[in-house]
A and B are shown apart, each in its own frame.
Chain A
Amino acid sequence: MAMNNLKFDASDALLAAFDVPNGAKWAMEARGFAATNLRRMGAPVKRDEYWKYTNPTGLTALPTPKAALFINDETPMFDGVDRVKLVFVDGVFDAAQSDDLALDGVELETLEDALRKDIHWAKDLFGVLEANGQNPVERPLAALNTAVATQGLVIRATGKTDKPIAIRYIHSADTSDAMVHHVVKVDAGANLTVLESGPGAARFNSVMEADVLDGAAFHHVRTQGRDHERRTATHMFGRLGADSIFRSFTMTVNGVLTRNESILEFTGDNAKATVGGASAGDGNGFHHDDTVFVTHDSLNCESRQVFKKVLRNGATGVFQGKILVKEGAQKTDGYQISQGLLLDDNSNFLAKPELEIYADDVACSHGSTVGAIDDDALFYLTSRGVPKSQAQDMLVLAFLGEAIDEIDDSALSEGIHIRLAEWMERRHG
């Protein structure tokens, strides 16, 4: 009982900690609905089954835990890509550092502006995909985000676009508590690429609701930077129409606490989705959690989940993946692989790869492996004159490479490869 009260005290405190902004009637209703939902669920606690492997305290504690700023001289991610750049500092849109909100084939505005308009297409999406994603598993941090977030982007792709939208998050205050909410709609037959990079804030809570209509393609690549003390919780809610394509990939290095949830739902036939991730964790403080929930509710769809984690010096990697195939979702092809590579004796890999299947004409499989670097492969390389530490790095990068290959754009995957190679290098420094 005491535990339950704790949950509800925490959710009330979180709601009270943020000012609820003004907006159009529909937006206020969506926020109110999410707040009610959150009050009903309570904040997540370690005892919750869905948080079995990740302690959510750092994501819900008040006041916001401090995270010292991390200064580095790396070139910002995706700088070499021809893109529309949009910058958020501690979760607040910074127009001065951003490009114009203009791109052929795309309608782009800030969440704040969109939610003030009485008539807006976002009405059918804002908080809607998030609310759908609360069943059968509750995601209180996403409800909190919908209830209080004012910052974010509202993006609608109406045709073919050739430039990606690149969102850059800058962390500049050591107690910033950011709530960012993006709404994305890719119209039938249209395509869109969204890139996200940077740690964002001392504590960063982001939600992206992406509606990919029939025959549309959505591509999402995200990197969560080297900021050691930051905490992050992200939710990607994807809805896939018939013949659509959805791809999302995340690279994470460092960070005290990262929980990335992807919740995808197939609603039309013949669609394809891939969710992938490569993470490299160094040190006791590192805790990284990928939680994926894919629901098949239509015919002949294909989903892939590919997650790789390299862990050293006491780092912890978590994977919770689920493929749910509803009754009648025949001809589903579901695939899921999660692998952990432990570079020393202190690191942990915890996984819960689940299948829940109610249709018989399906092919679903999952695999999960954990272990150290393969001695035979290491011997092969060293016997050919490659120094041991270099041979190890090669094997680690090859291991992560299998996940990075899920990015269907060589210019983007190349940048990720380089970052991870640099991460390996730093071990020797």
Chain B
Amino acid sequence: MSDVIVKEGVEEETVQAVQSLGGKYKYGFETDIEIEYAPLGLTEDIVRLISEKNNEPEWMLDWRLQAFARWQKMEEPDWAMVDYPKIDFQDIYYYARPKSMAEEKPKSLDDVDPKLLETYAKLGIPLKEQALLAGVEVSEEERRVAVDAVFDSVSVGTTFQEELKKAGVIFMSFSEALKEHPELVRKYLGTVVPQSDNFYATLNSAVFSDGSFVYIPEGVKCPMELSTYFRINAENTGQFERTLIIAEKGSYVSYLEGCTAPQRDVAQLHAAVVELVIQEDAEIKYSTVQNWYPGDENGVGGIYNFVTKRADCRGDRAKVMWTQVETGSAVTWKYPSCILRGDDSQGEFYSIAIANNMQQADTGTKMIHLGKNTKSRIVSKGISAGKAQNTYRGLVSMHPKAANGRNYTQCDSLLIGDKCGAHTVPYIEVKNNSARVEHEATTSKVDDEQLFYCRQRGMDEEEAVALVVNGFCKEVLQALPMEFAMEAQALVAISLEGSVG
């Protein structure tokens, strides 16, 4: 459907394709369903209520209450280079779920409220097990993605559970895992990001409502990619999810995460915690495309994205790779980190952070080298446009025992326009001399010669900038799984819409 008048000969399909890339946030719609809320604000009763709604064991409630008590004594951190009005934590709903999910959870996706399913279809998320992601032409056998869909505070459903079970892989919502595998959850929860870690992580520990749980047993290569799709729908609601992934000895999993939210003029809070446990010879690839609603061009509305993500390489030769494309959110505060405890373990961090209009991003990573021969690599590409501020903040720490540790860090910033800012705040701490640490950073504008070259070949300025920027991000885009890379590439162009001229 198109209400645009176009020149003769231009196909409707083309117009639609262009419109879909038309720069406006395309996931800003709202799903009109009945939502059940917990009372406004945060008290001990709310924490109890969330626990009760999930039918949690006693120890889980105690853990939450402990976190809540601690959180009440904590102060919001203010060191990041982001500026936003003070959050009133009593003016947020901490729990919201579609009414249809209220009593008994649907047994299969077929029983889920069609409106919910429609939402995910509109977002392009395949909840039908045979569905493939658009644009990927490979055989069904090779390219399947299991999805856990989280809607506000609850998981709507998880696909391919049966088949994963055959391989021994556990992939389910956090609340289900608490019922079916409480011993595993209890063993690992909070061991990577402790309750007391930081203000938002502690808040999350008290009020997290759902999330994803993944367990890959020893020696298993997960037969498909796993993915969680987070959707905030309800108004004035915080989303607090918790993801826990455990990769046992010699196992492998690739995990994808996507996020969107409706377009609203009131800012919303998202404070998630992700914990990865990686044992000997295991590997986790964790990819995120974060496209929360960024607010409008005047900075009204948008998501405050305050996330704690950490991977613990516990065993020797454990490997983790964080890849993130951060295009959304009004404010981003996020530092996916790697603790390289096992000897010869490796951490990688590839990031593209794009901030346009009034967006603010303060993001980066921490590489804590504890074991011998540990290696890490950081490639961060920050792009600022409009009046946005984009900061890379990172730590590379070589402990005295991290003999022969290696780190290479590259942070490049690109500025589009003269009203935005790009900042780099790296911390480098080296306490042994066999370690080698290299850090490079550059800040520049889009190269005039490259632009001229593109323009000369008939591209308009915006296209030319998008192309140059895609080239600038290439190293990170290459690290993403294929479907994500395509989505990310399109996102890069969309996020910069309106930044030129």
Contacts and interface: CB of A to CB of B under 8 A. Distances in A.
Interface residues of A, number: 36
A365 B441 contact: yes
A29 interface: no
A116 B257 CA distance: 69
B423 A354 contact: yes
Given A328-B418, A357-B413, A358-B421, A347 B433 contact: yes
A364 interface: yes
A350 B430 contact: yes
B415 A360 contact: yes
A1 B418 CA distance: 41
A356 B423 contact: yes
A343 interface: yes
B474 interface: no
A42 B431 CA distance: 31
Interface string A346-366: 111111111111111111111
Nearest to B441: A366
B425 interface: yes
B440 A365 contact: yes
B438 A369 contact: yes
A360 B426 contact: no
B20 interface: no
Nearest to B415: A360
A370 B369 CA distance: 14
A361 B418 contact: yes
A355 B441 contact: yes
A98 to B, nearest CB: 43
Contacts of A368: 426, 428, 437-439
B434 interface: yes
A79 interface: no
Contact of A360 (B420, B435, B440): B420
A360 B430 CA distance: 33
B428 A351 contact: yes
By size class, the interface of chain B is 35 or more
B378 to A, nearest CB: 13
B443 A364 contact: yes
B434 A330 contact: no
A364 B413 CA distance: 10
A340 interface: yes
B442 interface: yes
A367 interface: yes
B419 A367 contact: no
A353 B444 contact: no
B445 A361 contact: yes
Counting chain A CB atoms within 10 Å of each CB, the highest count among B81, B429, B433 belongs to B433
Contacts of A342: 430, 432-433
Contacts of A367: 438-441
Contacts of B418: 327-328, 330, 359-361
Given A354-B424, A365-B442, A348 B415 contact: no
A371 interface: yes
B121 to A, nearest CB: 41
A355 B422 contact: yes
B367 to A, nearest CB: 13
B498 interface: no
Interface string A160-179: 00000000000000000000
A371 B433 contact: yes
Given A369-B439, A372-B434, A352 B444 contact: no
Contacts of B435: 370-371
Contacts of B420: 358, 360
A385 B120 CA distance: 72
Contacts of B429: 348, 350-351
A345 B434 contact: yes
A345 B400 CA distance: 7
A348 B423 contact: no
A340 B430 contact: yes
A124 to B, nearest CB: 32
B433 A365 contact: no
A410 B423 CA distance: 37
A352 B425 contact: yes
Interface string B399-423: 0100000000000010111111111
A344 interface: yes
A359 to B, nearest CB: 6
Interface string B424-467: 11111111111111111111110000000000000000000000
Contact of B437 (A355, A366, A371): A371
Contact of B423 (A343, A345, A355, A363): A355
Contacts of B444: 362-364
B79 interface: yes
A347 B431 CA distance: 6
A330 B418 CA distance: 9
A49 interface: yes
Given A49-B79, A348-B430, A354 B425 contact: yes
Nearest to B401: A345
Nearest to A326: B421
A424 B92 CA distance: 63
Contacts of A352: 425-428
Contacts of B422: 355, 357
A354 B426 contact: yes
A338 to B, nearest CB: 9
A344 to B, nearest CB: 6
A343 B433 contact: yes
Nearest to A372: B433
A370 B436 contact: yes
Contacts of B425: 352, 354
Contacts of A348: 429-431
A362 B423 contact: no
Contact of B415 (A49, A357, A372): A357
A354 B81 CA distance: 13
A350 B420 CA distance: 30
A364 B422 CA distance: 11
B421 A357 contact: yes
A347 B445 CA distance: 39
Nearest to B448: A361
Contacts of A360: 415-418, 420, 445
Nearest to B429: A350
Interface string A323-338: 0000110100000000
Given A353-B426, A354-B426, A370-B428, A362 B439 contact: no
A365 B443 CA distance: 6
A357 B431 CA distance: 30
Contacts of A359: 415, 418
Nearest to B385: A360
Contacts of A350: 427-430
A291 to B, nearest CB: 14
23 contacts: A49-B79, A345-B434, A348-B431, A352-B427, A352-B428, A354-B424, A354-B425, A355-B422, A355-B441, A356-B423, A360-B420, A361-B418, A362-B415, A362-B443, A362-B445, A363-B443, A365-B441, A365-B442, A366-B439, A368-B437, A370-B398, A371-B435, A372-B436
Given A354-B423, A362-B444, 10 more contacts: A349-B430, A350-B429, A351-B426, A354-B425, A361-B418, A363-B442, A363-B443, A368-B426, A368-B437, A369-B436
Sorted from nearest, which 4 A-B pairs have the closest CB atoms?
Answer: A342-B433, A360-B415, A371-B436, A370-B430
